[in-house]
Amino acid sequence: MTELKGALIGCGFFAINQMHAWNDVRGAGIVAICDRDPERLKIVGDQFGIDRRYGDAEALFADGGFDFVDIATTVQSHRFLVEMAARNKVPAICQKPFAKTLSDAKAMVEACRNAGIPLMVHENFRWQTPIQAVRKALDADAIGTPFWGRFSFRSAYDVFSGQPYLAEGERFIIEDLGIHTLDIARYILGDVRSLTARTKRVNPRIKGEDVATILLDHENGATSVVDVSYATRLSREPFPETLIELDGSEGTIRLTQGYGLEVTNARGTTTTDVSPKLLSWASRPWHNIQESVYAIQQHWVDQLERGAEHSTSGADNLKTFALVEAAYDSAARGQTIDVGAML
Ligand code: NAD
Ligand code: 89Y
């Protein structure tokens, strides 16, 4: 099989995981990198032995010689860079949050559709081993039809030391982390009809909200709660685990802290360890996220080879992104938002 050649734009904090994962992915490798910060370009270029280095994305595309681009910058540049990829007809992966606004996100999907290029959002949390295990249990009909769910991420982990920009934005937890939790809720219980949200800022040293409670009405009639907090100090820090509770017509599923999967039905209760693998380059507690980075990047290559749509394609991600916008809107207005009308 010919190895696909990739170019990575944005050599910051999280790109290190993406570069490690590209080393492990079958069928692809990174041949060029780009960052407007020369120091980051040197650190990543030297660490991963990449000689083709660019300070400007236009120059990278002008030189070409790659089959896809992996955009790992923060959100401000996503629309600009995705549209540049579309103009150059280069398939693109874009980090979350996909865009600043839903209308930008729609324009980005449209640009790639018109250019005829695949576009995948790096929405990796649904690829975590424990989340996949919950999906498989549902697919195996372990609890019948789910009618209620809770998707919970509560932590006091210091995310600001690695990602200082998270303390500075008007928006924080829904746009940064809740976006993953909302995507998991969609992945497990299906698309959402309407949403009601409440937010709070507890930490006085940051600008945006660090607590959100969101009630979702799914199209299939199920109800779920997505609750996220970076202001919750617990005896055992769960970062970065998403805990799940699902009640179904024939039983229940509980994804518990420490990666336990408990399934209860008429046959009794089974408990399974669904811990993520600790990849050679990974470190605890991030290994859960790091393994999912590898999994989504392998999925990118596999689907390109098959010519099939990606699980978190740009079009799919519009439905997750709409939930983010709806949550902020609902919290600001104190009203329930019709999500279908936004799409
Ligand atoms: P960062 O600020 O550390 O790195 C971003 C890099 O992009 C910087 O080095 C910056 O110089 C560079 N850059 C920005 N605009 C550019 C442009 N136009 N051209 C070239 N280079 C440019 O940010 P980060 O913490 O690495 O986060 C990057 C993205 O990854 C964010 O959107 C964040 O939300 C996301 N992220 C995702 C996960 C996940 O699990 N999916 C986890 C953490 C962060
Ligand atoms: O940026 C966030 C993400 O996507 O996963 C965890 C994180 O790094 C901090 O909330």
Q: Model confidence over 126-145: pLDDT tens digits? A: 999 999 999 999 999 999 99
Report the separation in Å between the CA atom of 305 and the middle of ligand 2, taken as the mean of its atom positions.
29
Q: Which ligand is nearest to the CA of 122?
A: 1
- pLDDT of res. 2: 74
Mean pLDDT, the chain, whole residue set: 98
Q: Can you tell me the mean pLDDT for 45-61?
A: 98
β-strand partners of 148: 223, 247
* Ligand 1 contact, 73 CB (< 6 A): yes
- As a whole number of angstroms, the distance between CA 108 and CA 219 comes to 26
172-to-149, 162, 169, 224, 286 alpha-carbon distances in Å? 24, 15, 6, 22, 20
Q: Are 122 and 96 spatial neighbours (Cβ–Cβ below 8 Å)?
A: yes
- As a whole number of angstroms, the distance between CA 26 and CA 136 comes to 24
Closest C-alpha residue for ligand 1 atom 12:
10
Q: Which ligand is nearest to the CA of 124?
A: 1
Report the separation in Å between the CA atom of 32 and the middle of ligand 2, taken as the mean of its atom positions.
25
* Ligand 2 contact, 178 CB (< 6 A): no
Report the separation in Å between the CA atom of 74 and the middle of ligand 1, taken as the mean of its atom positions.
4
Q: Are 212 and 199 spatial neighbours (Cβ–Cβ below 8 Å)?
A: yes
How does pLDDT run across 92-133, given as a tens digit for each residue? 999 999 999 999 999 999 999 999 999 999 999 999 999 999
Pocket test for ligand 1, best of 35, 155, 173 (most atoms within 8 A of CB): 35
Q: Can you tell me the mean pLDDT for 29-37?
A: 98
Closest C-alpha residue for ligand 1 atom 39:
124
* Ligand 1 contact, 199 CB (< 6 A): no
Q: Can you tell me the mean pLDDT for 243-261?
A: 99
Strand pairing category for 92-95 and 119-122 = parallel
Q: Can you tell me the mean pLDDT for 316-324?
A: 98
User: Which atom in ligand 2 lies closest to the alpha carbon of residue 14?
Assistant: 8
Q: What's the CATH number for 4-117?
A: 3.40.50.720
Task: Name the CATH architecture for the domain at 126-285+319-342.
Answer: 2-Layer Sandwich (3.30)
* Ligand 1 contact, 8 CB (< 6 A): no
Report the separation in Å between the CA atom of 173 and the middle of ligand 2, taken as the mean of its atom positions.
9
SS3 297: helix
Asked if pLDDT for residue 158 goes beyond 60, the answer is yes
How does pLDDT run across 173-182, given as a tens digit for each residue? 999 999 999 9
Closest by CA to 176, choosing from 51, 287, 324, is 324
User: For the chain, which residues make up each domain, given as ranges?
Assistant: 4-117, 126-285+319-342
Asked if pLDDT for residue 9 goes beyond 80, the answer is yes
Q: Can you tell me the mean pLDDT for 236-263?
A: 98
The secondary structure of residue 96, as a DSSP letter, is S
Q: Is the ipTM of this complex over 0.90?
A: yes
Which residues lie closer than 8 Å to 218 by C-beta, 6 or more apart?
189, 190, 191, 192, 193, 224
336-to-23, 199, 225 alpha-carbon distances in Å? 45, 14, 14
Which residues lie closer than 8 Å to 159 by C-beta, 6 or more apart?
166, 176, 230
User: Which atom in ligand 1 lies closest to the alpha carbon of residue 14?
Assistant: 26
* Ligand 1 contact, 75 CB (< 6 A): yes
How does pLDDT run across 266-315, given as a tens digit for each residue? 999 999 999 999 999 999 999 999 999 999 999 999 999 999 999 999 99
* Ligand 2 contact, 177 CB (< 6 A): yes
83-to-41, 306, 332 alpha-carbon distances in Å? 22, 24, 31
Q: Can you tell me the mean pLDDT for 38-62?
A: 98
Report the separation in Å between the CA atom of 141 and the middle of ligand 1, taken as the mean of its atom positions.
39
How does pLDDT run across 198-229, given as a tens digit for each residue? 999 999 999 999 999 999 999 999 999 999 99
Q: In the structure, what pLDDT confidence band is assigned to residue 1 with cuts at 50, 70 and 90? A: low
DSSP letter string over 152-216? EEE-----TTT-GGGGTSS--HIIIIIHHHHHHHHHHH--EEEEEEEEE---TTSSS--EEEEEE
Report the separation in Å between the CA atom of 45 and the middle of ligand 1, taken as the mean of its atom positions.
16
User: Which atom in ligand 2 lies closest to the alpha carbon of residue 159?
Assistant: 9
Report the separation in Å between the CA atom of 166 and the middle of ligand 2, taken as the mean of its atom positions.
9
Report the separation in Å between the CA atom of 176 and the middle of ligand 2, taken as the mean of its atom positions.
6
